[in-house]
Structure 1
C-alpha cells in the first residue's frame, strides 16, 4: 500500500472556544521527546526521576506543516493538508518525539480542542487504480500555556488546570452576642445549641476571572471536609456537603459580566456537627473545608470569588 498524502483534522468545541469569527491556526511537528501526562510550557518531561525542559519554551522547535482557518460558523473542524513525506516520518511508533502542535496565529482567543485525527489517502498495491481513505486516531492530547495565573492575595479560586482548591478554616460560634435581630427575641449572650441551627450555608460572592481564563460553560463546585489539616495538601477529603452528585452549578456569566452574584451552598448538617464537635457516628467533625471542582482538572478556566479580606 502506498500513502499518497492526507489531512490532519482538528475538532473544536464551539461552545467552550471564545472566538466567534474565523481564526488562523498553524500546525507543526514536534521534534523532541515529550510526555503527554506531565508536559508543560517549560518542561517536555516532568516526572519524579526525569525532568527535561523544552529546548524552546512552549513545545520546543517544531517543523512547520502548514496553516488552516477555523470558522466556527461553518462547523467544528479545521483541516491541515499533509504530504506523504511527513506521514512517513510519523509512521515510526518507537519515536517518542512524534506529535503535532497547534498554534493560534490570531491573538486574543482560546480554543478548546475536542479531538484530532489523520485521514490518509492510500493506493492499495492489489488495486492501484483505486484510492481509499484510512483514518488514524491520535493517542491523546494536552494543553500548555503561559503565563500561569498567580493566585490572588484576597480572593478564592476554584478549578483550572492544574486545578485550584481553596481551603477554609471554619468556626461555628457557641455563644452569640451583639446581634440585634437575635437579642431582640432572646436574652444575650445566648448559648447556641446544635438543634437551634435551622439553616446554615456558605455564601460565596463571584468576581471577574481574568479574561483568558473566564469560563464559557457552567462551573460545578464541590465542598468537602479536610480530614487531616496537618498534612495539607495531601490530606484525604470527606464526603461532599453538596447533595447533588454533580455539585453546585454556577453559570459562566457569574465570573464575567454578571460578577458580584452571591452563590449559596447549604451545609446545615455540617454546621450542627461542627458545633457539637462530632458527627452522628461519633467521629470528630473537621473544622476545615476544601472548595474544589467536581471534575479535576476540567479545563484551564476557573471560578473566582471574593475572599475574607476582599474590599468588596
Structure 2
C-alpha cells in the first residue's frame, strides 16, 4: 500500500511527524496509534475516510518513529497527561477545527483525555475500550490473578532488567505482545516489519519505561502536566459524542459492558462489539472507518 509523505510540525515540546490524507480544510479527523504499534495501523482507515471527504491526520506519538523532542532537556515522560497535551498541541499547531479524534491503547487514552479536558477542541470521540483512563491512586492495588498475569510486561519494565531488555529486544518484545494481545489476528512478517522501525526512535525506551512506571506511582511525572493529572484524578465524565469499540478477543483486557461505557460517556452514540483483538483499526479497518464516519455524520447533524 502506498504511503503519504511525512510532514512535520512543531507542537508543544515535540516536532511531531505525521501523515495527512484527504484535503486540508475539510472536516478533520485525527487517528492515534497505541503501544507497541505506529501509524501503519491506520493505512486502510485513513484512505477510506479521506475518500469520504475528511482531512485525516495520523501522527506518530512521542517516542515513536520520526517524532522527536524539540529540546534535549525535556523530560521523556510517557504519562497519560503528556499524551493528551501532545494531541492538544497538534490540533493547535495545525489550526484544525474541532476534530473527531479516534484511537486505541495509548492513542485512545490521549483522545479520551483530550475530549475530557478540552471538549471545545473535540467534535467527537471514537475510543477503543472506552474510558481507558489510568487511576494512578489505585495503581498499587492488586487485581485478580488472571489480570495480573496479563500485565507481566508492565511489571517487567518496573526494573532495570526490563529497561535493558526493552532496549536490546524492542522489536522482539513488541512482536510477542502483538501475538498475545491479538491471538486471532494473522498478521504477516511484512505487517510487523512495516511498523518495527518506529521502535528505533532514540526516546522510545525512556518514554515507554516512564509510562509503565508512572501509572503505578513508582516515579514522578513531569511537573508541566501536573495540573492536568490533578483534573484527571477526579475521573470526570467525557461530554462529547462518543462511539466506544469493545474488542471481544483482546488478550490484554476483557471488554467493558455497554452500561459501564454509558456511565462515563453521557453522549454515547454506540458501543461496537467486534470479534477482534487489541488493534481494531488494523484488524477490522472497514468497521473502524465506518464508526468514525458514522460519528462524523452524527456530529454534523447536531
Q: TM-score, normalised by structure 2?
A: 0.22
- Structure having the higher strand fraction is 1
Q: TM-score, normalised by structure 1?
A: 0.22
Larger radius of gyration: 1
- Structure having the higher helix fraction is 2
